[in-house]
Amino acid sequence: MNDARRQGSSPIEDVVASWERERPDLDLSNFLLAICVMRLGRVVDDAYDRMCRKRYGISGADMRVLFALRRAGRPYARRPTDLFRALLVTSGAITKQVDRLSSLGFVDRIVDPSYSGGALIALTAKGLKAANSATEALTDSSPIMAGMRKMSAAERATIRRSIQQMLEGLEQVDASEENDSPRAARAPARRRRASRA
């Protein structure tokens, strides 16, 4: 009976109320904030993915590649390493996404004029059109943003700043743990061996 949702409550209200009921001995504020942010991310990402597949024939993850190139500014091109760092994915994942987007005509691989033998990933005219269209679709008029329309511009700005602060803190911890890992400690030695080869 405890698991039955309260009449008229939303799923997230039920999650919060359940945890507060089950663990009144703990300050759950950080935990519940994280749950709300993760759930928001999943809901928005699922709706965004459905929109991208329906309108452009690509996944939301693939559209994020186009967005990363679009926000780079003219000529809308980046190195593969810059892409996977910006999108927090592996180099292998970016290679597969670029291959897929290239086969569909959204991106091209072009010669990097600043690096001999290097390549850049660049938006095609089709890719630029799709990125611009998707950006415009994700404005206040989009059904995906329905919940956000209930808030004022000032409230949205406050929430965005708060989430940015959370992300900056998490990313600093992430970077610190990466630098302290045994693999990171071994990296300079590997580079030294490679340079002597």
CATH number at residue 99: 1.10.10.10
Are both 38 and 83 inside the same structural domain?
Answer: no
Residue 48 has pLDDT above 70, yes or no: yes
In percent, the amount of the chain with pLDDT more than 70 equals 84
Residue 182 placed within a domain: no
CB-CB neighbours of 24 under 10 Å: 8
Nearest to 100 by CA among 57, 46, 131: 57
Residues 52 and 62 in one domain: no
pLDDT in tens, 53-98: 999 999 999 999 999 999 999 999 999 999 998 898 999 999 999 9
Q: What pLDDT was estimated at residue 138?
A: 83
pLDDT of residue 140: 59
44-51: average pLDDT? 91
pLDDT classification of 1: cutoffs 50, 70, 90: very low
29 inside domain: yes
Q: How far is 23 from 132, CA to CA, in rounded Å?
A: 46
Domain co-membership, 5 together with 42: yes
Residue 148 domain-assigned (yes or no): no
Q: Comparing 115 with 152, which gets the higher pLDDT?
A: 152
**Cα–Cα distance measured from residue 112 to residue 85, given in angstroms and rounded to the nearest whole number:** 18
pLDDT at 141 over 70: no
Mean pLDDT of the chain: 84
Q: How large a percentage of the chain has pLDDT more than 90?
A: 50
Co-location of 81 and 25 in the same domain: no
- CB within 8 Å of 139: residues ≥ 6 apart: 145
| pTM given for the model | 0.75
Q: Which residue range forms the structural domain that includes residue 113?
A: 58-138
Helix, strand, coil: what percent of the chain each, to 5? Answer: 70, 5, 25
Q: Is residue 12 part of a domain?
A: yes
Are residues 52 and 65 both part of a single domain? no
Residues in the chain: 197
More confident residue, 142 or 73: 73
Do both 62 and 128 map to the same domain?
Answer: yes
Residues 86 and 133 in one domain: yes
- Name 101's Cβ contacts closer than 8 Å, sequence gap at least 6: 58, 62, 65, 66, 107, 127
* Same domain as 64, residue 48: no
Residue 157: inside a domain: no
Above 70 in pLDDT, residue 161? yes
| Residue 20 and residue 74 share a domain | no
The phi, psi pair for 57, rounded to 5°, reads 75, 20
Task: Look at residue 174 and tell me if it is in a domain.
Answer: no
Query: For the segment 8-45, what is each residue's pLDDT rounded down to a tens digit?
Result: 568 889 999 999 999 999 999 999 998 998 998 898 89
In a domain, 1, yes or no: yes
Identify the domain boundary among 111, 138, 165. Answer: 138
Residues 69, 88 share a domain: yes
Asked if 72 and 27 sit in the same domain, the reply is no
Q: For residue 127, tell me if it sits in a domain.
A: yes
User: What's the total number of domains in the chain?
Assistant: 2
